[in-house]
Amino acid sequence: MSEDQPRMVLLRVFRYRSGDEAPRYDEFRVPIGPRTTVLDALLGVRRLQDPTLTLRHSCLHASCGTCGMRVNGREVLACVTRLDGLGDRVVVEPLAGAPVVGDLVVDMEGFYRRLGPSGRPLVRASEQAAPELPDLERFEDCIECGLCLSACPVAATDPRYLGPAALAAAGRLLEEPRGADPAAVLGWVDDAHGAWRCHVAFECSEVCPAGVEPAGAIMGLRRRLLRDRLSRLAGLHDREARP
Amino acid sequence: MTGKGLRAVGGRHPSRWLDPRGRHLGTWAFVLNRLTGLGLVAYLYLHLIVLSTLLRGPEAWDGLVAVFRRPVFLALDVLLVLGLAVHGLNGLRVALVGSGLLVDRHKALLVAAGVLVGLVGLVAAVRTFA
Amino acid sequence: MATRTRPDRTQAASPRRPRPTVAWMAQVVSGVLLLVLMTVHMVAQHFVVEGGLRTYQDVVAWIRNPVVFAVEALLLLTVTWHGIAGVHAVLLDLGLRGRAERIVARSLLGLAVVTVAYGLWLLATIAFRG
Amino acid sequence: MDRPHVAIVGGGGTGAALAHDLALRGLRVMLLERGELTSGTTGRHHGLLHSGARYAVADAESAVECIQENRILRRIASGSFEENGGLFVAVTDEDMDYKPGFLAACAACGIPTGELTPAEALQIEPSLNPALKAAVWVPDATMDAMRLPLRFFASARRNGADLCPFTEVTGLLRHGALVTGVAVHDHLSGRDAEVPADLVVNATGPWCERLAGMAGADVPVRPSPGVLLALRGRLCNRVVNRLHPAGDGDIVLPQRALSVVGTSAWVVTDPDDLDVPEEHVQAMYREGARLVPAVAAAGFRAAWSAARPLVGAAGGASSGRQLSRTFKCFDHAVTDGVEGLVTITGGKATTLRAMAEAAADVVCAKLGVQVPCRTRETVLEPHTAYYTGGRAA
């Protein structure tokens, strides 16, 4: 890093504590270098300026998915978002659509409840790896950060919408069921608040930090649902095999 | 942990459809589709009410027609055609992509729909005012 | 003593309700149909007409053409279906659910029936008048 | 009020496993963490489930711990590991000289190995440096640094443990030389509180000297940071280690769609103030590319530092490499005459369960609880249960 005077950036940080009447924004001036990330700056604020600032973080390299937040309105992982190039005034807010527990911390329970019925297929239990799979097992790429749900314009108003991550998980299950029943998965997502609630804004795929492309997965689910329905209508299938 | 905290902040509200920060083209297409859709439904009923004037005979209708030929109404007509073009052409994109077709091309489709909307609007404006 | 558990209404909401897949198909089909019908309507009713609107006599004569009558009637049916289904979708977007959703859905269906009935009556009255 | 109450300070892997162990033994547990769980050292490691081979030559004690825990964790946390195996790769003549002793040491520690010719190694791992001279397969695996501890947390809570993230310990409650609990500040409510406890366990990793100091006790622990580098793309499918004594940039491993290169080592005094020296980042690129050439041209994703808690005589070692990676449990009644405070520190992510068992044994002995450890065979809750499992009544 250069020995010159570091560039200063003004962080406008969303603050809220249980019991407060309304949230407020606090401003902190922070020095930044070319590699300084939003998370670096926030941890610096907590260490040197305001130890009460609460935020989530863990891995520091876009692997754990805990430091999702909105920076200048856009959903990002703070740990890989450099401040250089974001302007002299940067607004930092918690993810949208989830209850704020404190400052930049949101309650992720709703996100994980949506993911629940998928059985979280994204982490592959190695013992269950099917023989036809490549010999190496690997984690799938979703890091459960919740950026997609925060950015989704449908989730912005519909609390029951399954949301991109859960639907992407369902799509993953259809691709490779690993013992799951594809018909059950399809029945689960074929709902007015499931795959059909999506309005093709592709915001989830835009903000996904892991390249999961949830929107593509949702469209794949819909193609599959339509194909099944059309072939039933054409009499190619017997009656619906649902209870 | 203390309670469930603040639900209102960044919570669920249609106003979030209109928060421009950080959003991409797809969200604007969605918002525009919503607004034009609702606008067109409203226009459907307005249209039915206007057409009901036909029940009141030739004088009433022809008098109304004279009013509608004023420039301000002609401008609204162009707006109507634009609304129809936006909803129809973006709707076609949504129908394709939303059915799992041409998903990888969704951005190109959006651009194409935008260009076509522009052309339709241009033609409508020229046809109306020229 | 075993306590009776209430059936989980969130999971098994009336199994015979049409799956949303069918609702989507209907919206796509009606949308594509509208793209055609609305283009025909706009061109035939307005673009080709001098000044964009017909006089009373021309309107009546025009409507009496059975092909025009049929096209307009089909347009009415399709646009009402598509529009009302769209409004329903917006309400679902806004998180409407449960009993309120069912009541609103039925009301919207009623509104659609009334709209189509009134529109057809209007068309017929004008066509068979004078 | 009947069951003994233990306050665990520190929400990392050690605290997680200890809360699980103690809750399973029927104790009342409250865990306090100043930030989010796993926000200290735990979440930042490279995600390696050690086979122990890395330590076999120089630190047999750690190596044995690793291979034992490696086997136990695969059993109790199935699904949390990518069981891809690891390779130790020789690229120089010095590396080849290291090999016989390495194989012998692994055998002595009970770590299975498999020798591969360069051709065989390249066949199963085409990303390797084609100039490699030899490779040895070992039962390494990769894991998610946060989600494995979350499974311990979820299991602990299911068994009644009270987990309190964002609750900072501001002081120790003392009665003379007796520690009687902790004073805390709840960052979410802004309120201060006192938590009485029959015993306080210091599981704060590289911060443990600071907490022990509040009671006038001393722990010989050095915070020893290392730089890690995350690159875009899955450059290899297996853990790739350099077949030589532990050094900078001697490991490349896949983590989902990323690849991680680690690590360097130095010693600091404040584990909160870690920088990421640019020359260390360049060293990761340079040394990593000697194992997996694609590292040199891979896209940068992140570089960060993590502070290991290394147990050693304070003021002794300077680079951190000479310090043992094993863990130690200190009963401060014995070491400093301070009753009611136990410190568990050192170790590594792979040995979190063993550290917890050792600490829980000390805790139970001090509290007169005679319940055996059951964490070796208790299958853990899925990590999602941490978010959806609710709080214990």
Q: What is the DSSP string of A211-237?
A: ---HHHHHHHHHHHHHHHHHHHHTT-S
pLDDT of res. D303: 96
8 Å CB contact of B10 and A220: no
Q: Which of A62, A86, A106 is the last residue of a domain?
A: A106
Determine the 3-state secondary structure of D222 from DSSP. Answer: strand
Contact assessment for residue C21 and residue A226, using Cβ atoms and an 8 Å cutoff: yes
Taking only the tens of pLDDT, chain D with its 393 residues reads 467 899 999 999 999 999 999 999 999 999 999 999 999 999 999 999 999 999 999 999 999 999 999 999 999 998 888 888 999 999 999 999 999 999 999 999 999 999 999 999 999 999 999 999 999 999 999 998 999 999 999 999 999 999 999 999 999 999 988 999 999 999 999 999 999 999 999 999 999 999 999 999 999 888 999 999 999 998 998 999 999 998 899 999 998 889 999 899 988 889 998 999 999 999 999 999 999 999 999 999 999 999 999 887 544 445 556 566 788 999 999 999 999 999 999 988 999 999 999 999 999 999 999 999 999 999 999 898 999 886 543
Does D228 map to a domain? no
Q: Which residues share a beta bridge with B31?
A: none
Which CATH number covers residue A212?
1.10.1060.10
Which CATH number covers residue A38?
3.10.20.30
Asked if ipTM goes beyond 0.95, one says: no
8 Å CB contact of A219 and B22: no
Query: What whole-number distance in Å separates Cα of residue D166 and Cα of residue A105?
Result: 10
Indicate the burial class of C120 (C-beta count within 10 angstroms; 0-12, 13-18, 19 or more): middle
Q: Which domain holds residue D166?
A: 1-47+144-220+319-393
Same domain? For A51 and A152 the reply is no
Query: According to the per-residue pLDDT averaged within each range, which of B49-53, C44-48, D317-321 is highest?
Result: B49-53
Q: What is the SS3 string spanning A165-198? A: HHHHHHHHHHHCCCCCCHHHHHHHHCCCCCHHHC
Q: Which residues share a beta bridge with A7?
A: A32
**CB of A115 less than 8 A from some CB of D:** yes
Task: Kindly indicate the confidence band of residue C130, based on its pLDDT and cuts at 50, 70 and 90.
Answer: low
Q: Which of A177-181, C85-89, D111-115 has the lowest mean pLDDT?
A: A177-181
Query: What whole-number distance in Å separates Cα of residue A105 and Cα of residue B56?
Result: 64
Determine the 3-state secondary structure of A34 from DSSP. Answer: coil
Q: What is the DSSP string of D299-347?
A: PEEEEEEEEEEEES-TT--SSSTTS---EEEEEHHHHTS-BTEEEEEE-
Q: Which of A174-183, C63-72, D103-112 has the lowest mean pLDDT?
A: A174-183
Does D131 map to a domain? no
CA angle D247/D253/D256 to nearest 5° reads: 155
- Which residues of chain D have a CB within 8 Å of the CB of B2? 186, 188-189
Pairing label, strands D191-196, D178-186? antiparallel
Question: Sign of torsion, CA A182 A184 A186 A188?
Answer: negative
Determine the 3-state secondary structure of D160 from DSSP. Answer: coil
**CB of A35 less than 8 A from some CB of D:** yes
pLDDT of res. C95: 81
Does C9 map to a domain? no
Does C20 map to a domain? no
Same domain? For A138 and A161 the reply is yes
Q: Which two tokens stand for residue C54?
A: 């017909």
Does C56 map to a domain? yes
End-to-end alpha-carbon separation of chain B, Å?
68
8 Å CB contact of A194 and C25: no
- The number of domains in chain C is 1
8 Å CB contact of C38 and B128: no
pLDDT of res. A126: 43
Residue ranges of domains in chain B, CATH in brackets: 25-129 (1.20.1300.10)
What is the mean predicted confidence (pLDDT) over B53-67? Answer: 90
Same domain? For A18 and A45 the reply is yes
Q: Which among D63, D234, D192 is positioned nearest to D138, based on CA atoms?
A: D63
Same domain? For A47 and A62 the reply is yes
Does C19 map to a domain? no
Residue A124 CA to its chain's centroid (Å): 19
Contact assessment for residue D349 and residue D358, using Cβ atoms and an 8 Å cutoff: no
Residues, chain A, total? 243
Does C82 map to a domain? yes
Measured between CA atoms, how close is A135 to chain D, in angstroms?
9
Same domain? For A119 and A199 the reply is yes
8 Å CB contact of A157 and C95: yes
Query: What whole-number distance in Å separates Cα of residue D131 and Cα of residue D92?
Result: 9
Give the phi and the psi of residue A226 in degrees, each rounded to 5.
Answer: -65, -45
Q: Which residues share a beta bridge with A171?
A: none
pLDDT of res. C19: 75
Query: What whole-number distance in Å separates Cα of residue D12 and Cα of residue D153?
Result: 10
Chain A CA closest to residue C96: A158
Does C48 map to a domain? yes
Total beta-carbon pairs less than 8 A apart between chain A and chain D: 143
- The number of domains in chain D is 1
**CB of C25 less than 8 A from some CB of A:** yes
pLDDT of res. B4: 43
Q: Which domain holds residue A157?
A: 109-233
- Interface chains of chain D (3 or more CB pairs under 8 Å): A, B
Does D379 map to a domain? yes
Residue A90 has pLDDT above 60, yes or no: yes
Task: Kindly indicate the confidence band of residue B1, based on its pLDDT and cuts at 50, 70 and 90.
Answer: very low
Question: Sign of torsion, CA D145 D147 D149 D150?
Answer: positive
8 Å CB contact of C95 and A225: no
Sheet-wide strand order for D258-262 = D114-116, D134-138, D86-90, D239-242, D251-255, D258-262, D221-232, D300-311
What is the mean predicted confidence (pLDDT) over B15-22? Answer: 73
Same domain? For A223 and A178 the reply is yes
Which residue is listed with tokens 């360049």? D282
Q: Which two tokens stand for residue D203?
A: 């599981």
* Higher per-residue pLDDT: A112 or B130: A112
Query: What whole-number distance in Å separates Cα of residue B64 and Cα of residue D322?
Result: 94
Q: Which domain holds residue C73?
A: 32-127
Contact assessment for residue D331 and residue D340, using Cβ atoms and an 8 Å cutoff: no
Question: Which alpha helices (DSSP H) does chain D contain, by range?
Answer: 13-24, 60-76, 93-109, 118-124, 147-158, 208-214, 278-291, 332-335, 352-367, 385-388
Which CATH number covers residue D364?
3.50.50.60
Q: For an interface test with B, give the residue of C54, C56, C92, C120 to mutate (most B CBs within 10 A).
A: C56
Same domain? For A58 and A30 the reply is yes
- Output the CA torsion B36→B42→B48→B50 (10° steps): -100
Does D210 map to a domain? yes
Same domain? For A116 and A200 the reply is yes
Going from the C-alpha of D303 to that of each of B98, D220, D226, D299, the distances in angstroms are 39, 29, 10, 12
Residues, chain C, total? 130
- Which residues of chain C have a CB within 8 Å of the CB of B74? 52
Does A2 map to a domain? no
Query: What whole-number distance in Å separates Cα of residue D230 and Cα of residue D253?
Result: 10
Query: According to the per-residue pLDDT averaged within each range, which of A103-107, C50-54, D264-268 is highest?
Result: A103-107
* Higher per-residue pLDDT: C119 or C101: C119
Same domain? For A165 and A78 the reply is no
Give the phi and the psi of residue A46 in degrees, each rounded to 5.
Answer: -65, -35
Which residue is listed with tokens 């409508």? B124
**Contacting D residues, span 318-377, partner chain A, CB-CB under 8 Å:** none
**CB of B4 less than 8 A from some CB of D:** no
pLDDT of res. A185: 85
Query: What whole-number distance in Å separates Cα of residue B21 and Cα of residue B16?
Result: 10
**CB of C23 less than 8 A from some CB of A:** yes
Does C101 map to a domain? yes
Q: Which of A83, A106, A129 is the last residue of a domain?
A: A106
Going from the C-alpha of D247 to that of each of D45, D88, D136, the distances in angstroms are 16, 13, 18
Query: What whole-number distance in Å separates Cα of residue D259 and Cα of residue D231?
Result: 5
Going from the C-alpha of D95 to that of each of A28, A166, D128, D243, D249, the distances in angstroms are 51, 47, 15, 6, 15
At least 3 CB pairs under 8 A between chains D and C: no
Query: What whole-number distance in Å separates Cα of residue D177 and Cα of residue A142?
Result: 50
Nearest to D388 among A19, A61, A109 (CB): A109
Q: What is the SS3 string spanning chain C? A: CCCCCCCCCCCCCCCCCCCHHHHHHHHHHHHHHHHHHHHHHHHHHHHCCCCCCCCHHHHHHHHHCHHHHHHHHHHHHHHHHHHHHHHHHHHHHCCCCHHHHHHHHHHHHHHHHHHHHHHHHHHHHHHCCC
Q: For an interface test with C, give the residue of B62, B67, B89 to mutate (most C CBs within 10 A).
A: B62
Q: Which of A47, A81, A106 is the last residue of a domain?
A: A106
- The number of domains in chain A is 2
8 Å CB contact of A60 and D166: no
Determine the 3-state secondary structure of D170 from DSSP. Answer: strand
8 Å CB contact of A199 and B17: no
Residue A241 has pLDDT above 50, yes or no: no
Measured between CA atoms, how close is B4 to chain D, in angstroms?
11
Same domain? For A34 and A48 the reply is yes
Crossing angle for the helix pair D352-367 and D147-158, to the nearest 10 degrees: 30
Does C18 map to a domain? no
Q: Which of A220-224, B66-70, C35-39 has the lowest mean pLDDT?
A: B66-70
- Which residues of chain C have a CB within 8 Å of the CB of A199? 93
Query: What whole-number distance in Å separates Cα of residue D239 and Cα of residue D252?
Result: 6
Percent of chain A predicted with pLDDT > 90: 60
Task: Kindly indicate the confidence band of residue C115, based on its pLDDT and cuts at 50, 70 and 90.
Answer: very high
Q: What is the pTM of this model?
A: 0.90
* Higher per-residue pLDDT: A184 or D121: D121
Same domain? For A113 and A229 the reply is yes
Going from the C-alpha of D51 to that of each of D261, D291, D351, D375, the distances in angstroms are 18, 19, 11, 20
Does A73 map to a domain? yes
Nearest to C20 among A159, A196, A199 (CB): A196
Q: Which two tokens stand for residue D49?
A: 């489930």
Does A164 map to a domain? yes
8 Å CB contact of A120 and D44: no
Does A50 map to a domain? yes
Q: Which long-range contacts (CB under 8 A, 24 or more apart) does A19-24 make?
A: A19/B2, A19/D189, A19/D190, A20/B6, A23/A100, A23/B6, A23/B9
DSSP structural state of residue A161? -
